[in-house]
Structure 1
Amino acid sequence: MAMIRIRSRDGLERVRLPNPPSSTTISDLKSLIESQLHVPVTCQTLSLNQNLLIAKIPSDLQTLSLDSSVGPTTPLSSLNLSNGSIVYLSYPPDIDRSVPAPAAFSPANSFGRNKMTIDDLIARQMRVTRQESPHCDSVSFDRDAAHAFQHYVNDSLAFAVKRAGFMYGRIADGGRVEVDFIYEPPQQGTEEQALLLRDPDEEALVEAVALGLGMRRVGFIFSQAVGQDKGDYTMSGAEVLQAAEMHAQSGVQEWVTAVVKLEVNEDGGADVHFEAFQMSDMCVRLFKEGWFETEVGEEGLDPKLSRMKKDVVVGGKDTREVDNDFFLVVVKILDHQGPLSSTFPIENRMTSVSMRALKNHLDRTKHLPFVKRISDFHLLLLLARFLDVNADVPALAECVQTQSPVPEGYQLLIESLASAS
């Protein structure tokens, strides 16, 4: 029996097709969604474009809808939909698909046999539902910073192992998160995890440079390996756990988690894709309160699920396994050209960064004003190891932030450091 995967605000679900896609129409699919997923046909908007899930106004929904491009009698196969294909579903938030909760405990007929504990009462308050909207309007990536990260995981690592970093930038008016550089801490990557070997001293320098640039840590980014057990999920249980930890530690409501992955395109080639999410408020709360099972790598565990230490309520049912998609809130992605370049070698990669790299960089950029030559976070981080973090680093970073001339004394100092290599 064939099936079509349906992704909505409730996560990834499956609809069983009694007939093959070649003889199943759009109208048939809507009826099957109503009968199997309990979303009325009249309330459904279907699309092959994932942007449907972040569309907020009726005109956008109508533009993305299959109804606006094909008729109800169109076979699924004519849309290149086959067994296992994904269709995106949107429906009004007031549609209640939940199964009624079990009847409340009644002491009159149970004589204490089903007595609730405090943990049971707490678990019943932990209702995991899909969060409709993120706390940020969108996330915009500096083109050079995004390219430098994806180029490394694609060309140098071939997506064979995972890679991670912290995103720095600003939170603009209206909640738009702007990412201007990515700091990659020391780490060991495998197919299943990016183990961060965090260096407090180095991170103190990173924070000093960021503060001088008028920036802050605004998110976490990681790549997925091509060999990891993908299954039918957006993020694995281990990835959700790591992302929730980073979000919880940040204290930033607009915090964004970005995923970089390699996907097969229609021509059989491979394209690099960026996806952005916020971990839901419930996800962060569950992490802070210690509900997540931390042994997520045990053999036999479904990677698309997160395991809880106690029951939570999902869809009116008590469970200890939650589909990871319930914890993800889609964030719209934009791009921009930020104030920094990303041409200087990046720290903590396979090749260490030395003062020789500084000399080569300065020689290569002789035609530019000096402030432009040092307008690169990774260069400033290297300099921060040799300069006064309380005086020199803020002064240089302020010159970069304001694009004002660098005092001659600092120019001579930087050039002498480069020449000493």
Structure 2
Amino acid sequence: MMMLRIRSRDGLERISADGPHITVSDLKTLIQSQLQIPVHSQTLSTNRDLLLAKSPEDLARCSDMADPNLRLSSLNLGHGSVVYLAYEGERTVCGGPAVSPAGSFGRKMTVDDLIARQMRVTRQEKSRCDSVSFDRDCANAFQHYVNESLAFAVKRGGFMYGTVSEEGQVEVNFIYEPPQRGTEENLLLMRDGEEEKRVEAIAMGLGMRKVGFIFTQTVMQDKTEYTMSNKEVLQAVELHAESELKEWVTAVVKLGVNEEDGGADVHFEAFQMSDMCVRLFKEGWFETEIGPDDDPKISKMKKEVVVGIKDVKEVDNDFFLVVVKILDHQGPLSSTFPIENRNTQATMRSLRNHMERTKSLPLVKRIADFHLLLFVAQFLDVASDVPSLAECVRLQSPIPEGYALLIHSMADAS
């Protein structure tokens, strides 16, 4: 037994058949008995243009199923295949009103109208951003921690902040690492609303914004068959959808084998979640419960989507990923101050050590470190003082005396 999908002006319907050995004539008889369309009214084809045919010449180009004795197997039709059907007259669909050739409201439906009734998943060739460039210091600080301290044994993530040019070029100048719990396969972000307000205030003063999400894959993950797992796709698309930024970037950091010397190298890869992926997530199509036996390279849908010519509920994750070109640059900030929410927390002594180490520089350059600004921001008004101090860093203007006294007193208090 096999199932065939019949697409007509009425949408997509299914019929059951004994197998691909049946003939076109047999198929028409099945359509008559299961869909109540008389055999003499039917025109069948594997060519979707049949649904747009308006003249004998158009129909002649869709005549691959004109021979009633032709077996379906000779047309490479099998279980799940789509056959296009045009017919004359009216019929009642699923107990509803009669459907006329003109379609609803007297308008003839096109193939696009029919396909629009379902979600069509295709590979998106071009990303919404031209490239993503990483500040060398912030990228190195992130990968060094997961490599040296975590040994790529548990997952780690962060939010990337920077700028987006009019040409769609994304620059990442610092990475904020929220409170989190990482395991071999899962990354739980325990987001702190108050801390994120301080992060956003600093970003505003620096003339930057949140531009993406970065996470690591562990060496224990079996990544031989996928670029991102279904869990990673769900987390990445949720954050992309939340951002409302069309240039939003998702970066993956992983440890790979160097084929020349057999050693291990850290690799950065950058993607955008496709427009269709974001749309499917926003409209609730993704199955969000993932079982231990589910294939990690497949994302499951609650309803069927169209991939190629098939209606499916499982989509290869790679269909949702759009590759983004990676560049690097030297940004305006350093990344030498202890980074938030790691095993070793920043303290007043950390601030003192930093100030001692950079004492030959003007104060505005000494504090030009996002992680230092975030530490100091705990003791400032988030609505006014934090963006004002960050703006001094952006403009490289002298630090007002009040802020300077606070920073020095904090350092001296250790």
Scaled by the length of structure 1, the TM-score of the pair is 0.72
Quote how far apart the aligned CAs of 1:408 are. Answer: 2.8
| Distance change (3 Å), C-alpha of 1:243 and 1:105 | farther
The alignment partner of 2:345 has SS state of: coil
Q: Over residues 28-55 of structure 1, what are the superposed CA-to-partner deviations in whole Å (9 max), with x where a residue is unaligned?
A: xxxxxxxxxxxxxxxxxxxxxxxxxxxx
1:285 to 279, 290, 301: 279
Q: Distance in 1 between matches of 2:95 and 2:345?
A: 63
1:356 to 349, 356, 361: 349
In the alignment, structure 1 residue 231 sits paired with structure 2 residue 209: no
Matches within 5 A, 1:160-171: 160-171=153-164
**1:366 equivalent in structure 2:** 359
**1:19 equivalent in structure 2:** none
Quote how far apart the aligned CAs of 1:351 are. Answer: 1.2
Q: Over residues 158-216 of structure 1, what are the superposed CA-to-partner deviations in whole Å (9 max), with x where a residue is unaligned?
A: 00010010000000131100000000000000111110001111101100010010000
**2:178 equivalent in structure 1:** 185
1:125 to 87, 111, 118: 118
Q: Distance in 2 between matches of 1:105 and 1:130?
A: 29
**1:295 equivalent in structure 2:** 289
In the alignment, structure 1 residue 269 sits paired with structure 2 residue 263: yes
In the alignment, structure 1 residue 203 sits paired with structure 2 residue 196: yes
Q: Over residues 346-378 of structure 1, what are the superposed CA-to-partner deviations in whole Å (9 max), with x where a residue is unaligned?
A: 000011211111111001111111111000000
Contact 1:124 1:312 in 2 (8 A): no
In the alignment, structure 1 residue 378 sits paired with structure 2 residue 359: no
Contact 1:344 1:379 in 2 (8 A): yes
Q: Over residues 299-325 of structure 1, what are the superposed CA-to-partner deviations in whole Å (9 max), with x where a residue is unaligned?
A: 221101100001000011011110000
**2:335 equivalent in structure 1:** 342
Quote how far apart the aligned CAs of 1:229 are. Answer: 3.0
Quote how far apart the aligned CAs of 1:265 are. Answer: 1.0
Quote how far apart the aligned CAs of 1:124 are. Answer: 4.9
Gap regions ≥5 residues in structure 2: 1-79, 97-113
Matches within 5 A, 1:88-127: 101-104=82-85, 124-127=117-120
| Distance change (3 Å), C-alpha of 1:233 and 1:377 | same
Q: Across the two proteins, how many residue pairs are aligned to each other?
A: 319
**2:393 equivalent in structure 1:** 400
Contact 1:123 1:311 in 2 (8 A): no
| Distance change (3 Å), C-alpha of 1:129 and 1:406 | same
1:146 to 139, 150, 162: 139
**2:31 equivalent in structure 1:** none
Quote how far apart the aligned CAs of 1:409 are. Answer: 2.8
Quote how far apart the aligned CAs of 1:105 are. Answer: 8.4
Contact 1:105 1:114 in 2 (8 A): no
Q: Distance in 2 between matches of 1:179 and 1:381?
A: 17
Q: Which letter maps to 2:133?
A: S
Q: Distance in 2 between matches of 1:412 and 1:352?
A: 23
Contact 2:201 2:386 in 1 (8 A): yes
2:383 to 385, 390, 398: 390
Q: Which letter maps to 1:285?
A: R
**1:305 equivalent in structure 2:** 298
Counting aligned pairs with the same residue, the percent is: 71
| Aligned alpha-carbon RMSD (Å) | 2.3
Contact 1:168 1:219 in 2 (8 A): yes
Quote how far apart the aligned CAs of 1:390 are. Answer: 2.3
The alignment partner of 1:103 has SS state of: strand
| Distance change (3 Å), C-alpha of 1:107 and 1:193 | farther
**2:61 equivalent in structure 1:** none
Q: Which letter maps to 2:273?
A: M
Which 4+ residue blocks in structure 1 deviate beyond 2 angstroms? 99-115, 121-125
Contact 2:197 2:382 in 1 (8 A): no
Quote how far apart the aligned CAs of 1:242 are. Answer: 0.5
Contact 1:186 1:196 in 2 (8 A): yes
In the alignment, structure 1 residue 251 sits paired with structure 2 residue 251: no
Q: Distance in 1 between matches of 2:88 and 2:182?
A: 55
| Distance change (3 Å), C-alpha of 1:114 and 1:333 | farther
Gap regions ≥5 residues in structure 1: 1-98, 116-120
Higher radius of gyration, 1 or 2: 2
Q: Distance in 2 between matches of 1:231 and 1:385?
A: 44
The alignment partner of 2:83 has SS state of: coil
Q: Distance in 2 between matches of 1:156 and 1:397?
A: 30
Q: Distance in 2 between matches of 1:124 and 1:155?
A: 51
Scaled by the length of structure 2, the TM-score of the pair is 0.73
Q: Distance in 2 between matches of 1:228 and 1:123?
A: 37
